Structures are given as structure tokens and as C-alpha cells.
């Protein structure tokens, strides 16, 4: 009969092999779900879900926003809510620190958390040996002229940038046919800021949404703790649970929006083809002027300005089945009609000397899934986007 120590060793070996098989299966499942696996990428995703990095995708409860007198609203954790020059002192360019400003919507906000972007910049002689400090002026739903307003505000508080990156385009177009009657240059979430929560049904719906957001934060924080944070299997369980909670929050947000009535109701904008085209042209002109004003502010303050038109699933991408399921009812018609207007003005800006970079075709030959919803990329897409933006910054 085997000794006790041999029996213990046998069971330990068996459990180790079973755990190894489980980890291998989970790694394979990640390749099916996300197209790849990265502990660093998951750490960023968990941080967004836990609220450590503002601008997590999906519905965001109003409690996570703060009204702002100059940019409309912002995330509670955003540097844009800082109020005094003393609070901006850490964001001053020096021989030891390079300050990189990120402006745009939630896609730009996610870019600010990219280790790939930082590594690509630090690999160049220009940034070698310097700490790169990101100053995020982006918030989910932002569109021009919020970017130029946020940049002017941060500069006024004393921020001094080495580089200002403006990554935008999708938000300018995505909500133009909104039934809420907003100006086409208002951010997509603005109508939510006008809700009257004296209606108990709206207050209850908001409470349910806040509870779901809290559950998502707690789930992310739990799965990030060692040893769970080191396990592929635990990471897979987190990913599945996080997607469920994100989808639940999105459904609750839709229910809240259906109940809500802005305190300043306006008639819906016309959506026939002629009116839509006129609106697209108007929005594209605002977008162009905003970028030109940002370039002028950067030139006056000695910062490099880089404007990148973000890629979209609605142009130059053969969607996988996973991508189609992720956003079956997105604003494809309006976005596809509006992007040519943006590209035309962007190329004209580049011809005039403004550093504009059209990234809309960067995934045209990519067979794998890139988009996890109507505009946000999975880890593969985020890393590729970060490298493309870094190349734009470093372009001679």
C-alpha cells in the first residue's frame, strides 16, 4: 500500500494537472471570446469596470458624472474636474516628465490607459528616459467643441503639454437622429443630464442602474486580487460575468431613457435624407473648426498637436459574426454617411499643414474580431490603435 506521503503527492500532482488543463481550456476560450489573451490588457479592462479608469464602455450611471461649467459634464475621476492651478502642477512638461494630453470620447479615454502607447513612445529617442504622464481630457460621449473647450480649460489651469492627441469622429455622428431634439453638436449624453428625477419611476430606474454598476465594480475588484488575478480561469469567469453585468446595465439604461423626459423638451430633428446631409455637413464643419482651434492653442503653448480620425466598424471592415452580434442595431447608416464628410475635411486640413491622420482603413484587412460593441475595440484592436497613434505622434 502506498505511503501517506506518496498518496498526498499523487493527489497534488493530479490536482495540478487538472488545474493546468482548466487553465489551457480557459486560454482557448479567451481566444474564442476576445481573439487573444493578455494579463496587461485584462488588468486595464478590470480597472475600467472597477471605476479606477473613467469612461468604461456601456451605460454609465449619472452618479458617475459631474456637471461642469465649461465642458458640460465630465467623469467624477477626470482631471477636468480639478479646480486650481496647484492641482495641475504635476502636469507640467520637464526634462524628466513628458505630458501627453488625450482628448476625444470614450475610445480616446481607453487609449489613455494603454501601456502599448506608452511603450511605443518611450521606445523613441524623443521620449527615452522620460516618464510619460497622461492628462486625460476625454470623457465618454464627448464631441467637438467639447475637446477644444477641455483643452482650453486645462491650459488655463496651467497644464503644459508635450503632445496633445485628439482621437475622435464617431461621437460627432452617432446620435444625429436622436428623438430627444438636441442640437447636433450637443454630446450624446446631454439629454440625460436634463432628466427630472422627481418621478419615482425614474429614481427607481436610476437606483437599479447604480446597483448594477456597483456590482460590476465589486466583481472586477474581487477578481483582480491575488491569486485570482493570476489565474486565466478566474479571468475568464470575470470576463463572462462582466459582460453579463454590462449588458444588464445597458438594458437598464434603455429603460431609464424610455421613462425620462428632458426638463427642456425640444422637437426631434428631421431625419429625411436632405436634412440629414445638411446636418452632416454642419457637424463636419464644427469638427474641422474645433480641430483647427486645438492646433492653434497647441502652437501657442509649444505643444505638438496630432489629430487622428478613429476607425469605425461601419467602414472598411468585414465584420465577423461576433462583431455583428455585439452591435446589431448601431447607427451605421448615419456614421457611414458622415465619415466621408469628416475625411474630406481632415485631408484638407492635412494639405494645409495640420497633422491629421486618417485611421479609418487600419482594420480593412483584419479578419479577426476587433470591435466589441458599436465603437470600442477589444484588446487586439486597442493595441493596434495605440501603435497607430504612436506612429502618428512620432511621424517626422
CA distances from 221 to 34, 75, 231 (A): 21, 20, 14
H-state helical runs in the chain = 4-34, 39-49, 106-111, 115-122, 146-157, 170-174, 200-224, 232-259, 273-301, 321-326, 332-351, 379-394
pLDDT band, residue 288 (cuts 50/70/90): very high
pLDDT above 90 coverage of the chain, percent: 38
Here the cell at position 64 is: 458617475
**Number of Cα atoms under 13 Å in the Cβ half of residue 15:** 6
Contact residues for 103 (Cβ-Cβ < 8 A; gap 6+): 137, 138, 142, 147, 150, 151, 164, 165, 166, 167, 168, 294
Beta 356-358 vs 304-309: how paired, if at all?
parallel
pLDDT in tens, 292-306: 999 999 999 999 999
198 pLDDT more than 70: no
Cis peptide before 188 (omega within 30 of 0): no
Give the 3-state secondary structure of residue 101.
strand
- Taking a C-beta distance cutoff of 8 angstroms, is the pair 55, 138 a contact? yes
Distance, first Cα to last Cα, the chain: 75
Which segment of 58-62, 190-194, 375-379 scores lowest on mean pLDDT? Answer: 58-62
Higher pLDDT, 322 or 199: 322
Higher pLDDT, 10 or 380: 380
Among candidate residues 176, 235, 173, 194, the one with its CA nearest the CA of residue 30: 235
Phi, psi torsion values for 295, nearest 5 degrees: -60, -40
196 pLDDT more than 80: no
- Distance separating alpha carbons of residues 103 and 168, to the nearest angstrom: 8
pLDDT in tens, 26-73: 777 777 777 677 776 667 677 666 654 333 333 454 556 777 888 888
Here the cell at position 361 is: 482603413
User: How long, in residues, is the chain?
Assistant: 396
Cα radius of gyration (the chain): 23
pLDDT in tens, 249-275: 878 877 877 776 554 444 445 556 778
- Taking a C-beta distance cutoff of 8 angstroms, is the pair 349, 292 a contact? yes
- Distance separating alpha carbons of residues 298 and 257, to the nearest angstrom: 38
- 137's enclosing H/E stretch is none
Facing residues of 163 across strands? Answer: 100, 304
- Distance separating alpha carbons of residues 132 and 122, to the nearest angstrom: 8
pLDDT band, residue 358 (cuts 50/70/90): very high
Domain range list for the chain: 69-195+262-394
- Taking a C-beta distance cutoff of 8 angstroms, is the pair 295, 354 a contact? yes
Q: At what angle do helices 200-224 and 232-259 cross, to 10 degrees?
A: 170
Task: Please give the CATH superfamily to which domain 69-195+262-394 belongs.
Answer: SGNH hydrolase (3.40.50.1110)
Amino acid at each position: 500500500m502506498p505511503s501517506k506521503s506518496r498518496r498526498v503527492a499523487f493527489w497534488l500532482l493530479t490536482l495540478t494537472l487538472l488545474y493546468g488543463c482548466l487553465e489551457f481550456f480557459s486560454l482557448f476560450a479567451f481566444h474564442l471570446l476576445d481573439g487573444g489573451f493578455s494579463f496587461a490588457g485584462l488588468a486595464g479592462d478590470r480597472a475600467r469596470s472597477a471605476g479606477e479608469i473613467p469612461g468604461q464602455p456601456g451605460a454609465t450611471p449619472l452618479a458617475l458624472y459631474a456637471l461642469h461649467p465649461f465642458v458640460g459634464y465630465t467623469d467624477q475621476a477626470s482631471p477636468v474636474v480639478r479646480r486650481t492651478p496647484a492641482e495641475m502642477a504635476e502636469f507640467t512638461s520637464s526634462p524628466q516628465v513628458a505630458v501627453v494630453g488625450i482628448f476625444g470620447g470614450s475610445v480616446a479615454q481607453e487609449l489613455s490607459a494603454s501601456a502599448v502607447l506608452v511603450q511605443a513612445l518611450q521606445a523613441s529617442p524623443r521620449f527615452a528616459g522620460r516618464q510619460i504622464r497622461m492628462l486625460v481630457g476625454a470623457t465618454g460621449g464627448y464631441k467637438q467643441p467639447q475637446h477644444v473647450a477641455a483643452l482650453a480649460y486645462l491650459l488655463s489651469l496651467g497644464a503644459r503639454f508635450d503632445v496633445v492627441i485628439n482621437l475622435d469622429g464617431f461621437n460627432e455622428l452617432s446620435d444625429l437622429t436622436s428623438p430627444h431634439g438636441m442640437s447636433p453638436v450637443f454630446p450624446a449624453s446631454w439629454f440625460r443630464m436634463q432628466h427630472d428625477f422627481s418621478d419615482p419611476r425614474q429614481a427607481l430606474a436610476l437606483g437599479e442602474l447604480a446597483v448594477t454598476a456597483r456590482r460590476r465594480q465589486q466583481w472586477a475588484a474581487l477578481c483582480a486580487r491575488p491569486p485570482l488575478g493570476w489565474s486565466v480561469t478566474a479571468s475568464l469567469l470575470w470576463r463572462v460575468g462582466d459582460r453579463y453585468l454590462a449588458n444588464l446595465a445597458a438594458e437598464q439604461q434603455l429603460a431609464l431613457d424610455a421613462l425620462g423626459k428632458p426638463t427642456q423638451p425640444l422637437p426631434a430633428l428631421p431625419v429625411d435624407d436632405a436634412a440629414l446631409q445638411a446636418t452632416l455637413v454642419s457637424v463636419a464643419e464644427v469638427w474641422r473648426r474645433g480641430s483647427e482651434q486645438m492646433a492653434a492653442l497647441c502652437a501657442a503653448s509649444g505643444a505638438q498637436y496630432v489629430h487622428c480620425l478613429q476607425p469605425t466598424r461601419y467602414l472598411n471592415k468585414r465584420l465577423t459574426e461576433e462583431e455583428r452580434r455585439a452591435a446589431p442595431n448601431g447607427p451605421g447608416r448615419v456614421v457611414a454617411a458622415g465619415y466621408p464628410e469628416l475625411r474630406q475635411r481632415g485631408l484638407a486640413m492635412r494639405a494645409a499643414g495640420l497633422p491629421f491622420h486618417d485611421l479609418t482603413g487600419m482594420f480593412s484587412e483584419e479578419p479577426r474580431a476587433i470591435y466589441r460593441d458599436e465603437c470600442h475595440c477589444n484588446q487586439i484592436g486597442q493595441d493596434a490603435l495605440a501603435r497607430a497613434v504612436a506612429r502618428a505622434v512620432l511621424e517626422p
